[in-house]
């Protein structure tokens, strides 16, 4: 970054600092100012300026940073001089250090000893056991949606292909859509919310749950486009969520459970071993 960006700021800060910069400043660095024995250096200020920013914005960012830096130093030093109980602060710091150290140790142990992924069998067992808690909040479907121009060729063939939905028909739709389709989305291998599909159709549905359960083929046309929807499978809101949809959520639940179980077991063994080898000394009442 061009140092000339800082000229207005340096003029102000260096004037302030010129009479008070102490010999304790790092001689290898360019000090901008000193407050309560703390130094702010030019290289620190340069690091917080984004690349390719103009001079005006650089100056504003620098001024804001300087103000915040000075304010933080003054607040901290004033707080230290006026704090009622330094002992209480020290205790809080030590408590935080203890918690952070234990947490990092536990995370290291988890990385080394807890499997990264639950097994497929374990996930399916969880799905079967807790399926009543894995309920859909909206209707989902599998299928395909083909949108073509209103005057597209071979309309009869397209209709038959979509209605059939077998492998050969899907191949024909794929080839046809390359040259003729406005959009083609095959989602026979994944579940999609029916509400997302409805956004692409000129169709108003009052009861989506009833609609998905009573329609397998939908054909709609407006003034410019023709819409073909095939619903291969469906699940209604309130029914058990398909396993494929909640697999990631189950994975996270089981991983968290494995971690919690490991920590609980590890802490229990640590305590029992300490008692057994008399690392812990109990005094009689």
Let me know whether 229 and 265 are in one domain: no
Q: Residue 103: inside a domain, yes or no?
A: no
- Pick the closest to residue 35 from 71, 9, 11 (CA basis): 71
134-171: pLDDT as tens digits: 999 999 999 999 999 999 999 999 999 999 999 999 99
Q: Which domain holds residue 63?
A: 3-82
Let me know whether 160 and 214 are in one domain: yes
Let me know whether 282 and 147 are in one domain: no
Q: Residue 119: inside a domain, yes or no?
A: yes
Output DSSP code: residue 238: T
Q: Which helix (H) or strand (E) holds 147?
A: strand 140-149
Round to whole Å and give the CA distance between 201 and 150. 14
Let me know whether 230 and 263 are in one domain: no
Q: Residue 63: inside a domain, yes or no?
A: yes
Let me know whether 30 and 166 are in one domain: no
The predicted pLDDT at position 284 comes to: 82
Q: Residue 195: inside a domain, yes or no?
A: yes
Let me know whether 143 and 223 are in one domain: yes
Let me know whether 129 and 259 are in one domain: yes
Count CB neighbours of 277 within 10 A: 8
Contacts of 98 (CB under 8 A, 6+ apart): none
Q: Residue 192: inside a domain, yes or no?
A: yes
Q: In what order do the strands lie in the sheet with 225-235?
A: 183-193, 140-149, 225-235, 217-221
Ranges of the chain whose pLDDT falls below 70: 1-23
- How many domains does the chain fold into? 3
Phi-psi region of 101 (alpha: psi -120 to 50; beta: other; left: phi over 0): alpha
Q: Residue 41: inside a domain, yes or no?
A: yes
The predicted pLDDT at position 23 comes to: 53
Let me know whether 172 and 258 are in one domain: no
| CA 44 centroid distance within chain | 30
Residue 89: C-alpha distances to residues 55, 85, 93, 203, 268 (Å): 42, 7, 6, 64, 31
To the nearest 10°, report the CA torsion of 7, 8, 14, 16.
180
Let me know whether 196 and 141 are in one domain: yes
The predicted pLDDT at position 7 comes to: 47
What residues pair up with 41 in beta bridges, in sequence order? 31
Let me know whether 45 and 174 are in one domain: no
Let me know whether 41 and 122 are in one domain: no
Q: 144 burial class (0-12, 13-18, 19+ CB within 10 angstroms)?
A: buried
């Amino acid at each position: 970054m061009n140092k000339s960006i800082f000229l207005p700021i340096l003029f102000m800060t260096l004037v302030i600092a010129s009479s008070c910069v102490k010999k304790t400043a790092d001689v290898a660095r360019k000090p901008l100012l000193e407050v309560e024995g703390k130094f702010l250096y030019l290289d620190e200020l340069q690091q917080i300026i984004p690349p390719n920013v103009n001079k005006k914005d650089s100056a504003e960012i620098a001024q804001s940073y300087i103000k915040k830096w000075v304010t933080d130093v003054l607040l901290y030093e004033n707080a230290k001089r006026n704090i009622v109980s330094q002992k209480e602060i020290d205790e809080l710091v030590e408590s935080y250090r203890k918690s952070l150290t234990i947490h990092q140790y536990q995370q290291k142990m988890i990385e080394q000893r807890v499997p990264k992924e639950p097994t497929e069998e374990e996930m399916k067992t969880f799905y079967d056991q807790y399926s009543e808690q894995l309920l859909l909040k909206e209707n989902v479907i599998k299928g395909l949606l083909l949108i073509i121009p209103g005057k597209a060729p071979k309309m009869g063939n397209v209709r038959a292909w979509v209605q059939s939905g077998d492998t050969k028909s899907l191949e024909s739709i794929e080839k046809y859509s390359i040259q003729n389709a406005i959009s083609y989305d095959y989602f026979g291998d994944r579940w999609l919310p029916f509400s997302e599909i409805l956004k692409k159709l000129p169709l108003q549905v009052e009861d989506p749950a009833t609609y998905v359960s009573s329609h397998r083929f939908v054909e709609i046309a407006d003034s410019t486009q023709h819409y073909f929807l095939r619903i291969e499978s469906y699940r209604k809101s309130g029914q058990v969520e398909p396993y494929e949809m909640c697999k990631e959520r189950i994975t996270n639940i089981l991983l968290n459970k494995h971690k919690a179980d490991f920590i609980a077991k590890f802490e229990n063994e640590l305590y029992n071993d300490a008692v057994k080898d008399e690392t812990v000394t109990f005094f009689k009442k």
